[in-house]
Amino acid sequence: MSKANQLAKKKKNRLVIRTIVLLLLLAAVIFTITTKNNEKVLKAGDKAPDFELIDLEGNKHRLSDYEGQGVFLNFWGSWCVPCKTEMPFMESQSKEFEGKGVHILALNIKDTKLKAETFRDQYNLTFPIARDIDESVRRAYNVLPLPTTILINKDGIIEKIIPTGMDEEQIRLEMESIQPK
C-alpha cells in the first residue's frame, strides 16, 4: 500500500473515531437532559414528601408525625465542614425552640451508624438524628450539597430550602419563621 493510501486510511479512521466519540457525547447530553426533566424539583410552596426513617436510638420518625409543628429538616454528613460548624448552633436553638412547636430532624447521609453516633456524641447533640441509608429521602428532596436545610411549616408545606451552612442567628431566624402561630 502506498504512503498516500495509508495516510488516507488513517484520516478516515480518525474521522470515524471522532464521529463515534461525538455521538456518544451527544447521547450522554440528551440522556442527562431528559432524565433531569423527569425529576420533580421541590421548591417553596410544595408539599413536603412524607418519609419514615429510624433514628440512632431506634425510634421511627415520620414527617407526617410532626403535622401542626414546624420542622427544621437538616441533611448532613460527618465529613462536611459546614455541617460541623452549624451543628452546635442547631443544638442551642433546638433547646430554645423545644416548647415552641419547632423541631429539628437531622438526616445523616452516607455515614455508618458508628460514625453518626460518634459525631452526635462529639457535639453533644440531643435532637433526633436519623440515617438515610439508601438516600431515598435525599433523592425525594433533590438534595445535593451538604448541608441543606428544608424548612417545613405546620401544614407540611416547604417554606424555604437552604443549600448551605448557617450561623446561629440565621438558624434562630429560620426556626422563628416556621414556628406555629
Cis peptide leading into residue 147 (ω within 30°): yes
CA pair distance 166, 172, nearest whole angstrom: 10
Q: Tell if the pTM clears 0.75, that is, is over it.
A: yes
Distance CA 60, CA 89 (A): 25
Q: Which of 23, 63, 37 is CA-nearest to residue 154?
A: 63
- Rounded Cα–Cα distance for residues 84 and 160 (Å): 22
Q: What is the DSSP letter of 100?
A: G
CB 106 within 8 A of CB 127: yes
Compute, in degrees rounded to 10, the torsion defined by CA atoms 107, 111, 117, 123.
-70
Block means of pLDDT (10 residues each) for the chain, 181 residues, are 75 80 76 62 96 98 97 98 98 96 97 98 98 97 97 98 98 98 88
pLDDT at 7: 73
pLDDT, residue 34, reads 62
pLDDT score, position 37: 47
For 22-60, b where at least 16 C-beta lie within 10 A, e where not — what string? eeeeeeeeeeeeeeeeeeeebeeeeebbebebebbeeee
All three cell numbers of 86: 452549624
